[in-house]
């Protein structure tokens, strides 16, 4: 399976990072090694001093597809949850300055903690799906799927032009504003609405 991550998909986050609004969904990938879905603590890696959380809605692909048309895209995912696109911001900055790829900063081991999935109905899920992240009991990020620059269907249509989507693939659909660092001892809790789907203890 593969993990596809969308960048620059919420205007407030684009602004906080001083980026430009993209004309098409910008994406990159994480390897399977990035998955982390057991209720275990997360150990900060020693190669970075600035690991950031990015809270994102994650959809799960339920059948194989290539060149998927937008009007059929809804039937290609069957579940949703929240996930963290953990990012070594210091290394990402360095890679960008040198024009190098991002994998060191984005696809390191356990960099994609994933919540419990909720089934989603392709024929009628709400346009507005609200999600939030608490750090040590305080809300640090909150988002709403209706504010995505590119919605689920557009993302699936675009990504599947270049990459065949397969059952079990995950798409992290971008983060809203409020990204920030995690430190040893932090407790993260992520929700969709009131449902607690992901918790992470940072060690």
Element (H, E) at 96: helix 89-98
Give the residue at shortest CB distance from Zn ion: 85
| Contacts for 70 with CB less than 8 Å, ≥ 6 apart | 153, 154, 156, 157
Contact 197, 112 (CB under 8 A): no
Q: How far is the CB of 8 from Zn ion (least distance, A)?
A: 9
Per CB under 5 A, the list member of 4, 30, 60, 85 interacting with Zn ion is 85
Q: How far is the CB of 6 from Zn ion (least distance, A)?
A: 7
Q: How far is the CB of 87 from Zn ion (least distance, A)?
A: 7
Q: How far apart are CA 21 and CA 26, in angstroms?
A: 10
Q: How far is the CB of 124 from Zn ion (least distance, A)?
A: 27
Closest CA to 26 of 102, 140, 112, 97: 102
Give 81 or 175: the residue with its C-beta nearer to Zn ion. Answer: 175
Per CB under 5 A, the list member of 25, 54, 129, 191 interacting with Zn ion is 54
Determine the number of helices (DSSP H) and then strands (DSSP E) in the chain. 4, 15
Per CB under 5 A, the list member of 135, 175, 178, 191 interacting with Zn ion is 175
Residues near Zn ion (CB under 5 A): 54, 85, 175
């Amino acid at each position: 399976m593969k993990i596809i991550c969308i960048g620059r998909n919420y205007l407030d986050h684009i602004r906080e990072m001083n980026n430009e609004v993209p004309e098409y969904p910008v994406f990159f990938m994480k390897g399977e090694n990035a998955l982390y879905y057991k209720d275990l603590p997360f150990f900060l890696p020693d190669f970075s001093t600035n690991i950031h959380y990015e809270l994102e809605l994650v959809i799960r692909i339920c059948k194989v597809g290539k060149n998927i048309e937008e009007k059929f895209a809804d039937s290609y995912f069957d579940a949703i949850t929240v996930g963290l696109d953990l990012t070594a911001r210091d290394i990402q900055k360095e890679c960008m300055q040198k024009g190098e790829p991002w994998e060191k900063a984005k696809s390191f081991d356990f960099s994609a903690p994933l919540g419990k999935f909720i089934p989603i109905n392709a024929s009628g899920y709400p346009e507005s799906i609200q999600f939030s992240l608490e750090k040590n009991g305080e809300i640090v990020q909150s988002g709403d799927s209706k504010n995505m620059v590119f919605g689920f269907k557009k993302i699936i249509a675009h990504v599947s032009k270049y990459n065949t989507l397969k059952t079990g693939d995950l798409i992290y659909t971008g983060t809203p504003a409020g990204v920030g660092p995690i430190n040893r001892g932090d407790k993260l809790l992520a929700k969709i609405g009131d449902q607690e789907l992901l918790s992470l203890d940072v060690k």
